[in-house]
Structure 1
């Protein structure tokens, strides 16, 4: 997720009550594109195959066309690939993130930063 000083910018797109796209799903799409499979993409991101598959399923159910297509089994032309729609969604999402970073901050962020500690104080809980 992009950071602007201490500000973490997290854009999430919803479709009804589901999240159609967010930073984790964008990272997963990039990993699928790079790795050529959902399981390898999940491993590269430190998530289980089941979690990766559920995220892909949610993405494919929330866009007009699937973002990821799969062909069962191993070997040549098997695994998963990001569709053209998936590439368009990913590019537009990354552009949105960049634009949010560009527009973030200004005087409002500067005022907050002046009031923010560099590090949190130790917890007083249990003391």
Structure 2
């Protein structure tokens, strides 16, 4: 089944798309950049670079470090991080609904081999 992938260009070569949003969601659920990276088959270094990139795109960080303590340290999404994820998912849903008919029309024209590969 065909699907729509949304990438938002924010200017000056800066963009946010499904991979970065998934990383934020995995950081949110795991509380760890390292665990989020592993879940996406990504090195800690690459995950950290993407977090730093995203933190630099907005007026405030999307991910912040939590200090250690009884449960140890880790990372968490900031309120802005949660808002960016929610806004992206809303844009993605709205765009998907807007092009559903056109995607169906494209799928109807696929060759049998291309349809089977989906």
- In structure 2, which of residues 33, 44, 47 is the aligned counterpart of residue 49 of structure 1? 44
1:58 equivalenced with 2:49 (yes/no): no
Q: Deviations over 1:33-79 (max 9, x none)?
A: 11111001111111110111111011111111110012476863511
CA-based RMSD of the aligned residues comes to: 2.0
Stretches of structure 2 that go unaligned for 5 or more consecutive residues are none
TM-score, scaled to structure 1: 0.78
Structure with the higher helix share, 1 or 2: 2
> What is the TM-score with the length of structure 2 in the denominator?
0.83
Query: Whole-Å Cα distance in 2 between the matches of residues 33 and 42 of structure 1?
Result: 12
CA shift at 1:92, angstroms?
0.6
Which residue in 1 is equivalent to 2:106?
Answer: 112
- Aligned positions of 1:1-127 closer than 5 A: 5-6=1-2, 8-15=3-10, 16-19=12-15, 21-71=16-66, 76=71, 78-106=73-101, 108-120=102-114
Greater CA radius of gyration, 1 or 2?
A: 1
How many residue pairs end up in the alignment?
Answer: 113
